[in-house]
Amino acid sequence: MSKIDAAALTADLIKCPSVTPVEGGALVLLEQLLSQASFACQRVDRGEVSNLFARWGDKGHAQTFGFNGHTDVVPVGDEAAWTKPPFGAIIEDGVMYGRGATDMKSGVAAFAAAAIDFVRETPPDGSIILAITGDEEADAIDGTTALLDYMDAQNEQMSVCLVGEPTCPNEMGEMMKIGRRGSLTAWFTFKGIQGHSAYPHRAKNPLPAMAQLMHMMASHELDQGTDHFDASTLAVVTMDTGNPATNVIPAECKSAVNIRFNDVHSGQSLIDWMQGLVDQVQQDTGVEIEMVSRVSGESFITPPGALSDLIAKAVTAETGLVPELSTSGGTSDARFVQHHCPVVEFGLVGKSMHQVDENVPVAQIHQLKEIYTRILRDYFS
């Protein structure tokens, strides 16, 4: 039987308009392909989200290698700004264009193709699990978390997992992710008393309270970094009043901050710190402040060891580069997988992800498949 062309599969997936949470035909395509290769497939849909669980080999085997990825993509944006059809998978000068070309239909295609060819050519003494979600780019509530809930209920267990997100900043093979920073967003509402700007003593202006609190947060050094993490960061992401009149002191204003934090902190410790500042500013100004917060994920790390060594060895063999072990970047579904088993991320160069004319060199897709194939061969050997 002929091998699976990972680039052709990428093109087929790009042509599925799977903007979160629309399935778009991508998981249907993968389920058909994997079923033909004797993978036991199960749709694990929850809410509006479609997910696919696929396993080759006996359930509960001590050696079970897992892949995780997503077929959903971010919206196209201004379609008129694209020079190629966003869902056309057009190839020009060896480069494939389309939404999801980098993030991350090429990664899913590469590990699906590697897994299928591997079990057909050299059936391993073990199992391979593919956990593919349609809800990574949005709230990620009913995506990989639903797959992991399903696996727990069915006593399905991955020994280790590789998430196929783009991880390389500029050159294929230069970086892998062994952890991620946590992410926390907090929204603040400042409530004063509206009045005439010529008579400020008759009003209670919430704006100075907002400015004071945002300055206290933004100017504070959270930490200086740790062995595996850069320093945590806090960014003020919005400050709004909605007040068009210069002779009116508004009754209310709003702001928000986003914190990317390392393993010095937990989401709760940062919430407690912010609440302390809120209490202080309320006392100083008399302005009522409400805070609502959401932790998208805690920081985590898979300590360097057998899994990272396995992946690094395969990357070096195929690219000639020794990948840096990094925890940089935003969040990924690895934050959920890390509660299930050791997890590492490795994938393509991510420079064009989420951009207009998102693209991937076709040669990189084939190279990524070879890396994943080598990882499987080395793991099961």
Q: Is 290 a catalytic residue?
A: no
- Measured CA distances, 372 to 106, 304, 375, 377, 379 (Å): 12, 19, 5, 9, 10
Q: For tokens 């998978």, name the residue.
A: 89
Q: Is 72 a catalytic residue?
A: yes
Full DSSP string of 241-252:
-----TTEE-SE
Full DSSP string of 194-258:
-EETT-GGGSB-HHHHHHHHHHHHHT-------SS-PPPEEEEEEEE-----TTEE-SEEEEEEE
What is the residue type of 338? Q
Alpha helices in 247-361 (DSSP H): 267-285, 306-319, 334-337
Determine which one of 23, 31, 72, 318 is catalytic.
Answer: 72
Determine which one of 31, 117, 136, 137 is catalytic.
Answer: 136
Instruction: Tell me whether the omega of the peptide bond preceding residue 104 falls within 30 degrees of 0, making it cis.
Output: yes
**Shortest CA distance to 133 belongs to which of 115, 147, 149?**
147
Q: What's the full length of the chain, in residues? A: 381
Q: What SS3 state is found at 364?
A: helix
**Shortest CA distance to 264 belongs to which of 293, 233, 243?**
233
The sheet with strand 51-56 has its strands ordered as: 40-43, 51-56, 127-133, 64-70, 160-163, 343-345, 175-177, 324-326
Kindly report the number of other CB atoms within 10 A of residue 125's CB atom: 11
Q: How far apart are CA 53 and CA 66, in angstroms?
A: 11
Active site residue ranges: 72, 136
